[in-house]
Amino acid sequence: MFRRKKDDTEDSKPAAADAENAAATPAEPEAEAIPSRPFPRPTPPSPGALARSVAGPIAPTATRTTAVAARAASDPVEGRKLIVGREIVLSGQITSCERLVVEGRVEASLSESRFIEIAESGVFKGMAEIEHAEVAGTFEGTLTVRQKLWIRATGKVTGTVRYGKIEIEEGGQIAGEVQVDASKLIKSDANDGG
C-alpha cells in the first residue's frame, strides 16, 4: 500500500559495504550440481557363482568351529542336529539327535544318537551313549562311545568312560573309571575298514 521512498544515500551505502567485504574475502567456488538419477539396482549373483563360493575350500585361518561345520555339512543326516548355544542351560532327556553341539551347559541323558561335540565353552553332565564324541570342553558322568572318542587339548572327561577307540591331544584330560570296550572295538574296526 504505502512504501517508504528510499534515499539515494541509503542505497549506495550497502552496495559499497558489500563491495568492500567481497574484496576482503576470497571468492568460494560454486558447488557442482549433482545430477539426480536413481541408484542402479544390484544384480543378484548367479546360482553357479553362489555354489562356487559356498563349496570353496576352507581357509587355513578358519576356526575349529568352521571345520566342524564343514564336516557336518557333508553329513546326510544333518537335519537332526541340536545346538545348545553359549549361556544356555538345557536339562532333561535327549533322544534321536544325530548331532548334539554343546556350547552352553547340558544336564541330560543322551541316547539313540550318533555324534556329540562339546565346545571349549561347553559343559555336559549326565549320561551319553553315542557313536562318536569330540570333547574340547567338559564332560562329567557316564560316557559310552561305541566308535571313537576325541579329547582335544582343552577337553576334560571325568566319570565312567567306555570307548572303542580314543585319541587324546596333548593337554587333554581323562579321569575316573576308563575302559576300552573290546567287543565294540572289533565291531567298529570291521565297519571302519581298519
Distance CA 71, CA 78 (A): 10
Q: Nearest CA to 137 among 153, 115, 160? A: 153
> What is the reported pLDDT for 61?
39
Q: Which of 64-68, 102-106, 136-140, 172-176 has the lowest mean pLDDT?
A: 64-68
End-to-end CA distance of the chain: 109
pLDDT (tens digit per residue) in 130-142: 999 999 999 999 9
Instruction: Indicate if the pLDDT at residue 57 is higher than 90.
Output: no
- Mean pLDDT, rounded, for 21-32: 53
State the burial class of residue 137 (Cβ atoms within 10 Å of its Cβ: 0-12, 13-18, 19+): buried
> What is the reported pLDDT for 80?
86
Question: Residue 132: CB partners within 8 Å, gap ≥ 6?
Answer: 114, 115, 116, 145, 147, 148, 149, 150
Is this model's pTM higher than 0.85 or not?
no
Q: Nearest CA to 104 among 81, 87, 80, 91? A: 87
> What is the reported pLDDT for 69?
52
Q: Which residue has the higher pLDDT, 115 or 56?
A: 115
